[in-house]
Amino acid sequence: MRLGMFMMPVHPPERQFWSTLEEDTEKSLLADKLGYDELWLGEHFSASSEPIPSPLMFFANLLPQTKNLTFGTAVINIPNHHPAIVAAECAQFDQMSKGRFLMGIGPGGLISDFELFKLNDHPARYRMVDEAMDMIEKIWSQNPPYEIKGEFWDITIKDGINDNLGVGTMPKPYQKPRPPVFTSLASPNSASAKSAAKKGWGIISANIIAEYSVASHWTKYLEGCQEAGIKPNGDLWRVARNIMVAPSDAEARERVFSPEASNTYFYTYMREVLNSVGLLIILKPKPDMSDAEATVEAITEECVIYGSPKTVLDKLIAFRDKVGPFGGLLQTGIDWAGKNADWERESMRLLAQDVMPKFRQHIGSKQAAE
């Protein structure tokens, strides 16, 4: 069981960009110090509340300052980029990190980014992801000339080639044949889980979804594995959750539900954003509940794992028993306004040092008994 940190990130939009970058860097370095295995970071071009346009640039700053972390994009929104640029930049980072890289990709999820890049055709974005990844894998698997044609892009290098000088040759990744590829999932019964399984990709279940929705991702992933004749592998499944560990259950609840809690802000923000685009179903604890019943408090109660170390351990064991054998747990990084900085630092420490060793021991004992 790998432990990671996932940052969308979500910050109050009035905060200064430099300040949130410094905070997210400090949080990343703390995760590395505490022995976290992975750091995943989102990509958005047009939201001051989710302000990271280049996860790879952010990660490059962390490389010489860390020793434990593997870095995952969560995700590169493929339709926003030319596939040749994604191929070259990801290959460069994989070489820079000597393989400390997990390539998370997806179609995008921010409405203002869709408008910015003129990508409002939802089915087309998914076709763009498939086409781009086919192109990227071809770039990584061959030398020039490159003549790759598709519905959305054409990649050609055939005239400007000088093999002796290396001109015309695109960079290849450090990991062979390529870095592990993951795709993010938020919708219940997501068809992307099935598609990912068939391609040998991993999946990331979002931190904003209910337990039943997380479980549906594994069900769909199993269907894809069965159809493709692939043995299912829980090590290729990451599950993100907001997690608050405190010395006592009462303190943990206060740190999740108090008006000054960043978890309260986080789910207030997510509810308003998704409700405004008709996607509140993603957040609902039960698919048949009314919009009025899907309050911030109800969503928070469903999506946050909180309590003392013992309570969180018990909840994690029960959660994994219900949803399926995920191989990576990603704790959501939240904003550090006010008391939240001290609360999250303590939560990260307790999760890494008190909860995860016992959680891993439980999983190991269970697997040995099977």
For residue 239, CA distances in Å to 108, 320, 340 come to 18, 10, 23
pLDDT at residue 370, rounded to an integer: 78
For residue 224, CA distances in Å to 95, 191, 221, 280 come to 31, 9, 5, 27
pLDDT at residue 356, rounded to an integer: 98
| Statement: residue 369 has pLDDT above 90 | no
The answer to whether 351 touches 243, Cβ cutoff 8 Å, is yes
The answer to whether 117 touches 79, Cβ cutoff 8 Å, is yes
Which among 42, 177, 179, 174 has a CA at the least distance from the CA of 103?
179
> Which two structure tokens, joined as six digits, stand for 287?
């698919």
pLDDT at residue 366, rounded to an integer: 85
Rounded-to-integer distance, Cα 77 and Cα 293, Å = 32
Q: Which residue has the tokens 């931190």?
A: 207
Residue 16: how many other CB atoms lie within 10 Å: 11
For residue 153, CA distances in Å to 6, 20, 135, 148, 192 come to 31, 35, 9, 8, 22
CB-based burial of residue 297 (10 Å sphere; 0-12 exposed, 13-18 middle, 19+ buried)? exposed
Mean pLDDT, range 72-82, rounded to an integer = 98
**Helix, strand or coil for residue 204?**
strand
Residue 319: how many other CB atoms lie within 10 Å: 19
Note the pTM of the prediction, 2 decimals.
0.97
pLDDT digits (tens, 9 = 90+) for 188-244: 999 999 999 999 999 999 999 999 999 999 999 999 999 999 999 999 999 999 999
Domains and CATH numbers, the chain: 2-74+180-245+307-369 (3.20.20.30)
